[in-house]
Amino acid sequence: MRKNSLFQKIAAAPHILWAVMFIVAPMIFVLYFAFTDAEGNFSFSNIASLSQYGNVFILSIAFALIATVVCLIIGYPLAYFMSRQSPRAQKILMVLVMLPMWCNLLIRTYALMALLDNGGLLNALLEKLGLHKLSIVGTNFGVILGMIYDFLPYMVLPIFTAMTKLDKRYIEASHDLGCNAFQTMTRVIMPLTVSGVISGITMVFVPSISTFYISQKLGAGKIDLVGDTIERLFQNPSTYNVGAAISLVMMVLILISIRIMNHFSDDERETSAPKSGKGGGIVP
């Protein structure tokens, strides 16, 4: 037992070292700079100055929520369609969903700009057809569209995984009990795949609320989100501490959202867990 315990500690050492260097230490630095001024003196002035960035926080949260909801509306039916296909077709569809993720986020965003810009392929096609051009880049819609395009796979994959693990006997039982397709979806499939939905929401909302490159390029510098504000403040030594304070608030918001999602996920697992009856049967 001692050898196994020592081996486990040695095996975990690289991960612990990595976590301390690249997770714990940066968070400590952010916490330090958030509560100090330019001279290194303890101060709450950085936290107090966050009130002037209230609109930026509200806009970032609103964009992230909209992108997450749209990804869920698109991703859930897509994941359901994929789960109903043959194993071979599932693999092909999985590759198609994951294919954009093989490219860097910067490349995907630039590609979307090439399609949607005023002189891009979409407007060039509309112009040849005699239609009016669409102004997408530099608008709120363009930024949200970029979030949806870049983060949609993060919604589809966990929901698809949850659906493929779903016992088909539940669906057959619902049909035997007289449920139609809509009732089976709302009363059986959706409640049993809540864990995948929660994972997808978390994986889309967290990067959406903290992104800055998408808003920079597809917003054409006209839309200022939290990520853009933090990047701009960090570039100026005189506002470095304020940027750290905003980063600290962002970390708190992300941790709160993850905690809320985990709470709902834990409740879902507790309510869906089968209970054993006296006769060894399953009690709903």
Are 225 and 215 in contact by the 8 Å Cβ rule? The answer is: yes
- Mean pLDDT, range 262-277, rounded to an integer: 56
Q: Which of 77-81, 124-128, 276-280 has the lowest mean pLDDT?
A: 276-280
pLDDT (average), residues 243-261: 86
Predicted confidence (pLDDT) at residue 200 exceeds the cutoff of 90? yes
Other Cβ atoms less than 10 A from the Cβ of 79: the count is 26
Q: Which two tokens stand for residue 41?
A: 């003196």
Q: What is the pLDDT of residues 134-173, one digit of tens each?
A: 888 889 999 999 999 999 999 999 999 999 988 888 888 8
In this model, does residue 115 exceed pLDDT 80? yes
Residue type, 254: I
The whole-number pLDDT of residue 77 equals: 95
CA 110 to chain centroid, in Å, comes to: 20
Strand partners, 282: 276
Residue 82: which region, alpha, beta or left (left: phi > 0; alpha: psi -120 to 50)? Answer: alpha
Mean pLDDT over 241-254 rounds to: 90
Per-residue pLDDT reduced to its tens digit, 32-75: 999 998 888 898 999 998 889 999 999 999 999 999 999 999 99
121-137 pLDDT per residue, tens: 888 888 888 888 888 88
pLDDT of residue 172: 85
3-state secondary structure of 221: coil
